[in-house]
Amino acid sequence: MIEFVGVGKRYPDGTVAVDNLDLRIESGQFTVFVGPSGCGKTTSMRMINRMIEPTSGAVKVDGRDVADADPVRLRRGIGYVIQSGGLLPHRTVVDNVATVPVLNGMSRKAARHAALDVLERVGLDTALAKRYPAQLSGGQQQRVGVARALAADPPILLLDEPFSAVDPVVREELQAEMQRLQAQLHKTIVFVTHDIDEAVKLGDKLAVFGPGGVLQQYDSPQQVLTSPATAFVADFVGRDRGYRGLSFRSAEGLTLRPLIIAKQDGLADVRLAHGEWALVVDSAGAPHGWVDWAGNRFAGGSVFRRGGDLRQALDSAISSPSGLGIAVDENGTVIGGFDAGDVIALLTDLRRRDQR
């Protein structure tokens, strides 16, 4: 458990980075510190491992004030991941991951063996173990950074905007990997981001920071979206917070309708009435765009995977040039379609159930 008790940080020039922070993070909880730049979220996180010292109050880990702990010993027991991985450029991947176990007294041979296991756990091919950081992609570097933080099996992980420097596709992959790891390991995680979508996706609890380092709200993602505690929070999460809130609603029960299907190698034989659309699929039944009644080809919108939420379903419908969302199974094979009205109808039904 991590506790902030009346914590403040004021710099010599009078700048207040964190103002009277009271916060309790339960063991095994994924907590996201979120807010605009300069609101004190990173400063607050770095007080946990004493990379920054508070000017008032106390930060406690399992009831002990971290100010009383040896900072080096404290940091070796807390995993830490920063932007771009923060890897040592002159060390191979395996030796980067083995760094903390070796510092903790493990033999280099044993530490390297353990490092290979951790690399596999974060989804990296062990064939990369002998490469250097410069030989890796941005996403691979971040995975190595996470592996290094996990290598000594610390109970606490601190992640400072770890995915902000990678492209959107890789970022989504890394977020999914983080969710998978947390489901397996149940670490106490503090994750810093300025991206409210990332915060909502990953966090069990969100700590929303505002100007002057003031904590505005500490609550579940759903509560932050549906019941913002302050005008600042309402503005920060955006006017489309209702749309984001759909991610907490399962799309199970969504009515699927049959689609007109056209094989990629059989488009010449497709005959459509005015206003009709056909979904183009490959030999495995995976979607590859649309063709309209005039024979024009269009790229598809997003795809809704069975078991997803209402936000994903609605996005598939409204991003589709045909107005029809595409539902696929676990193998990516098309199983049906739906429109935005189908999604809204399900949402209305779910709300009625809530009121019973």
What does the pLDDT look like over 134-171, one tens digit per residue?
A: 999 888 898 899 999 998 889 999 999 988 878 888 88
> Confidence class of residue 51 from pLDDT cuts 50, 70 and 90?
very high
34 strand-pairing partners: 193, 208
Give the pLDDT of residue 53. 95
Every domain of the chain and the residues it spans: 2-248, 261-355
Three-state secondary-structure class, residue 333? coil
Which amino acid, one-letter code, is at 176? Answer: A
What does the pLDDT look like over 180-213, one tens digit per residue?
A: 999 999 999 999 999 999 999 999 999 999 999 9
CA 332 from chain centre, in angstroms, equals 22
> Cα separation of 280 and 243, whole Å?
29
pLDDT of 84 strictly over 80: no
Give the pLDDT of residue 85. 66
In contact, 134 and 89? CB cutoff 8 Å = yes
Task: Please state, rounded to an integer, the average pLDDT across all residues of the chain.
Answer: 91
> Cα separation of 208 and 225, whole Å?
11
What does the pLDDT look like over 210-262, one tens digit per residue?
A: 999 999 999 999 999 989 999 999 999 887 888 888 988 999 999 999 999 99
Give the pLDDT of residue 189. 96
What does the pLDDT look like over 263-302, one tens digit per residue?
A: 877 676 778 899 999 999 998 899 999 999 998 999 888 9
Give the residue-averaged pLDDT of 333-353.
93
Give the residue-averaged pLDDT of 104-126.
90
Per DSSP, the residues of 27-74 read TT-EEEEE-STTSSHHHHHHHHTTSS--SEEEEEETTEEGGGS-HHHH
Give the residue-averaged pLDDT of 75-95.
88
What does the pLDDT look like over 163-180, one tens digit per residue?
A: 887 888 888 888 988 999
Question: The pTM is what?
Answer: 0.82
What does the pLDDT look like over 283-294, one tens digit per residue?
A: 889 999 999 999
| Residue percentage of the chain with pLDDT more than 90 | 67
Give the pLDDT of residue 169. 83
> Cα separation of 248 and 204, whole Å?
12
pLDDT of 356 strictly over 80: no
Superfamily (CATH) of domain 2-248: P-loop containing nucleotide triphosphate hydrolases (3.40.50.300)
337 strand-pairing partners: 257, 326
Render the burial of 131-167: b for 16+ CB within 10 Å, e for the rest: eebeebebbbbbbbbbbbbbbbebbbbbbbbbbebbe
CATH class of 261-355: alpha beta
Give the pLDDT of residue 310. 94
pLDDT of 106 strictly over 70: yes
